[in-house]
Amino acid sequence: MISIIVPVYNVEKYLDRCVQSILIQSFKRFELILVNDGSTDNSFEICQKYRKKDSRVILISQENKGLSAARNTGLNNAHGDYICFIDSDDFIEKDYLKLLLNNLKSNNADISICEYFLSNEKGKKYSIVKFNEPKNISILSGKNTFN
């Protein structure tokens, strides 16, 4: 139902945490498309490890073309009803997909966004920007969203 696209380029330091946070989601009906964009570190090998462990993981490797091209490659290979982009140096909370999907469905929306936080190397939150917490939902028109 959801295609999660993660562009990967030289992020061996962060990639395990990113992929693990996706694979433990409470919402399980997703495919995870890892697009290795010509990494020169161990990122490709890390991606291969997850592809072998979980059938929901799809690994695509291409020469380095940049972030937008990697996302487009992911889009061209996606099978889900919904698309989710996650950066390879980020990680998500366990109910991330469930909450975003519930907001889409319950509000008949086209786009669902949520808060994010910045953290240090140990995962301690030090800044938070609030967008759309589960209990603080805003419905915006296309024009308001664009603005």
- Residue 88 makes CB contacts below 8 A (sequence gap 6+) with 6, 7, 8, 9, 11, 14, 15, 18, 43
Helices of type H across the chain: 12-23, 43-53, 67-76, 96-106, 142-146
Q: Which domain holds residue 41?
A: 2-146
pLDDT at residue 120 is higher than 70: yes
* Count of structural domains, the chain: 1
CA distance 71 to 66: 9
Q: Is residue 77 within 8 Å of 33, Cβ to Cβ?
A: yes
User: Would you call 53 helix, strand, or coil by DSSP?
Assistant: helix
Between 45 and 111, where is the model more confident?
45
Strands 82-85 and 2-8: parallel
pTM of the model: 0.88
CA distance 82 to 110: 9
pLDDT at residue 95 is higher than 90: yes
**Lowest-confidence region among 3-7, 85-89, 104-108, 121-125:** 121-125
Report the pLDDT value the prediction gives residue 84, as an integer from 0 to 100.
97
Report the pLDDT value the prediction gives residue 130, as an integer from 0 to 100.
57
pLDDT tens-digit map of 44-89: 999 999 999 999 999 999 999 999 999 999 999 999 999 999 999 9
What does each C-alpha distance from 127 to 17, 103, 106, 124 come to in angstroms?
19, 24, 29, 9
CA distance 105 to 29: 15
For residue 98, the domain's CATH number is: 3.90.550.10
